């Protein structure tokens, strides 16, 4: 089944269901020529009450890779339309990778660590990196 660009861009993924119930062959959302796979970077800090009690957290997370579920919806205003992108239970192949370090000394070391993870694991045109800065800048 050919998917339209609009269907590829639809971020309305559903979660749940069994992988074996989705009709084969399974079509993954990525890689594709329409949109890159998102990778999110989060950097945050924690400050304690004692002197020097401050450290930084950094996490780099790849978005899950859902499967196109062509089975028709049975209820609601989308009844009869394909269910769309689905992240079924027990789908290890579709789980996005995640990296975390929660013992970084300062903001620069957190940014350097995240940049290294991106260069090592997510280099190439198939990804778009989204930085979510919780440091209040």
pLDDT in tens, 53-94: 778 899 999 999 999 888 877 777 777 777 788 898 889 999
Inform me whether the pLDDT recorded for 128 exceeds 50. yes
Which of 40, 60, 31 has its CA nearest to residue 129?
40
pLDDT in tens, 26-53: 999 999 888 899 999 999 888 777 776 7
Q: Give a yes or no: residue 34 inside a domain.
A: yes
pLDDT for the residue 3: 57
pLDDT for the residue 137: 46
Q: Give a yes or no: residue 91 inside a domain.
A: yes
Q: Give a yes or no: residue 97 inside a domain.
A: yes
Query: Is pLDDT larger for residue 21 or for residue 136?
Result: 21
- Per DSSP, the residues of 82-110 read EEEEEEEET-GGGPPPEEEEEEESSHHHH
What residue numbers bound the domain in which 93 lies? 5-132
The sheet carrying 127-133 orders its strands as 98-104, 54-62, 37-47, 127-133
Q: Are 91 and 67 in contact (CB under 8 A)?
A: yes
Q: Give a yes or no: residue 52 inside a domain.
A: yes
Q: What is the pTM assigned to this prediction?
A: 0.77
Give the count of beta carbons closer than 10 Å to the beta carbon of residue 17: 17
Q: Give a yes or no: residue 137 inside a domain.
A: no
Q: Domain tally for the chain?
A: 1
Q: Give a yes or no: residue 26 inside a domain.
A: yes
Beta bridge partners of 38: 128
Q: Give a yes or no: residue 62 inside a domain.
A: yes
The sheet carrying 14-18 orders its strands as 14-18, 82-89, 67-72
pLDDT for the residue 17: 80
Query: Is pLDDT larger for residue 100 or for residue 136?
Result: 100
């Amino acid at each position: 089944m050919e998917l339209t660009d609009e269907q590829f861009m639809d971020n309305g993924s559903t979660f749940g269901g069994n992988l074996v119930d989705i009709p084969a062959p399974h079509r993954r959302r990525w890689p594709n020529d329409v949109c890159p796979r998102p990778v999110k970077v989060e950097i945050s800090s924690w400050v304690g009450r004692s002197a020097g009690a401050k450290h930084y957290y950094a996490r780099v997370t790849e978005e899950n890779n859902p499967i196109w579920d062509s089975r028709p919806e049975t209820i609601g205003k989308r009844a009869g339309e394909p269910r769309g992108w689905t992240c079924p239970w027990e789908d290890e192949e579709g789980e996005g990778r995640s990296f975390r370090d929660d013992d970084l000394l300062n903001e620069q070391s957190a940014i350097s660590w995240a940049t290294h993870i991106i260069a090592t694991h997510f280099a190439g045109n198939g990804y778009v990196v989204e930085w979510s800065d919780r440091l209040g800048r």
